[in-house]
Amino acid sequence: MVIKNIQTLTSHGNTDGRKIILEILEAGFAASDPYENTKKLIRVQDGKLIVGHKDLPIDRPRQTRHEPLIFDLSKVGNIYVVGGGKAAQRQAKAIEDVLGDLITEGHINAKKGEQVQLKRIEVTLAGHPIPDKDSIEGSQRILEIYKKARKGDIVFFSESGGGSALMALPGPGLTLEDLQDVNRLLYFERGASMWETNAVRWQLMILRGRHERYVGDATFIGIHTDERPPGLRVSLRGRLGSEGTYEEAIDVLKRYQIWDKVPQSVRAYLEKADPRYGRIRPGELDGKPIYHFRVMGPEYMLDATKKKAEELGVNAAIIASSLSDIEAQAAGQMLAYAAQEVEVYSRPFEPPCALMCGGELLVAVGKATGLGGRNQEFVLSTAPRIDGSENIVVASADSDGTDGPTDAAGGIVDGYTMERAREAGVDVFEELGNHNSYGVLNKLSDNIFTGVRGTNVQDLRVAYIGGRVSEEKLRRFMDGERTSLQWG
């Protein structure tokens, strides 16, 4: 089982609803592991290395193709495997299991808390969400391997979300502390979106989004777990991230009113705008053998949850595969309202029903001292709205297994949560104001624990509505009698 504490989570509250919603989550999380798709992509046959599969086309504009890449192993020099991210080790494990001693050497930066799974490929366990010295040391090792690569060699690059912290290698004149300060101010204190945060920090690092620059004439094959659903726009402000510019980074910092708060070295670096370390320039890589494959994304997780719900006899709807870049509490209120609509009016779906969404929400903590994460804050914010419901259960968790700076993946609440909180002497509204969702859910035994999972396709949020509100309860409400119905 992916979820380690299902027995505890189903021992109280709406136990039947909790069992169903956790079974739905379990199916989604199991489907988000990139190992099998990566193993399907790469194979050795009759002295040839074959990279490609009809279900996993090359994943870059103007490069999409279905025919595989074929290399005569007798003519291949060295094979290197490098990379970083929350899913990087699982992908590298698949590559290692296929290629074995054909791999010359490699280095992967994985998140601290993961178990080292690789044998031939070195692993550095580095800091996330805040980079640390191990992030830099592991990245320097990756750069050293790049510099060894020559024409005729193959470099497999295993990458996923989380790589911005795990492969943080500051540009010349910048320090680890500079990167940490920018990350803390922009993402945590001001609540900037991940794409806006990347627009800044990717311009401060020399590897992220620019790995192809350093392999010379070697063949570069990127293997990616993508956080973004195909075809959906995730950034409202143009090309943010590795394709952004120094000017866009400056604009983000000024828009969040922290341009004068970031270190002076950061301001000087961005204003200098050295093209040697910025985004890949037009024509810079023309003619080079560079390929990228997408082996995992949120759609695998969401499709599996929908399928499992339907197998359980539940009407299922994916309402947003990327509900992102809005405050977690606001998103929680929205989903709770939608769940009530199903419970009372059977629209837009008849219960039993599951409403599902993915994406990555925001929590601007400011100077708050509480402990939590976007998934825990999301579910806890729904609890007051569904208070008294006998039908609604809400759960949310991060596919990577850790929500914010906590050991929990997420949390679960139902119509009995507020009553249980009151009995435990917990003021949910006060704790939400202090962004202390972890403390509340921990006291109620409602944190979801999976451990670090080795994947990253953002979050999975599900509202389960097991039936309609009873006619008796609705009648009493319509007659003006105060009840425990959630509006009462």
Tens of pLDDT, residue by residue over 171-206, are: 999 999 999 999 999 998 998 988 899 999 999 999
Angle at 112 between CA 109 and CA 115, to 5 degrees: 85
Neighbours of 317 (CB within 10 A): 15
Same structural domain for residues 53 and 150? Answer: yes
pLDDT at 62: 40
How far apart (Å, rounded) are the C-alpha atoms in residues 302 and 455? 14
Q: Which of helix, strand or coil describes residue 101?
A: helix
Give residue 360's domain range.
Answer: 6-31+298-478
pLDDT at 191: 87
pLDDT at 488: 38
How far apart (Å, rounded) are the C-alpha atoms in residues 10 and 169? 44
Contact call for residues 156 and 93 (beta carbons, < 8 A): no
Same structural domain for residues 373 and 464? Answer: yes
- The model's pLDDT over 333-372, given as tens digits with 9 standing for 90+, comes to 999 999 999 999 999 999 999 999 999 999 988 889 999 9
Beta bridge partners of 58: 293
The verdict on residue 177 lying in a domain is: no
Sign of CA dihedral 297, 300, 306, 308: negative
Same structural domain for residues 212 and 125? Answer: yes
The yes-or-no verdict on residue 471 having pLDDT over 50 is yes
Same structural domain for residues 101 and 65? Answer: yes
How far apart (Å, rounded) are the C-alpha atoms in residues 81 and 109? 11
Same structural domain for residues 27 and 135? Answer: no
Tokens 């069992």, located at residue: 19
- The model's pLDDT over 268-318, given as tens digits with 9 standing for 90+, comes to 999 999 999 998 988 999 999 999 999 999 999 999 999 999 999 999 999
Same structural domain for residues 13 and 150? Answer: no
Angle at 40 between CA 37 and CA 43, to 5 degrees: 145
E-strand ranges in 346-398 read 353-357, 392-398
The yes-or-no verdict on residue 487 having pLDDT over 50 is no
Which 8-state DSSP code applies to residue 262?
S
Question: Could you give the C-alpha distances from 28 to 328, 372, 399, in angstroms and in order?
Answer: 21, 23, 9
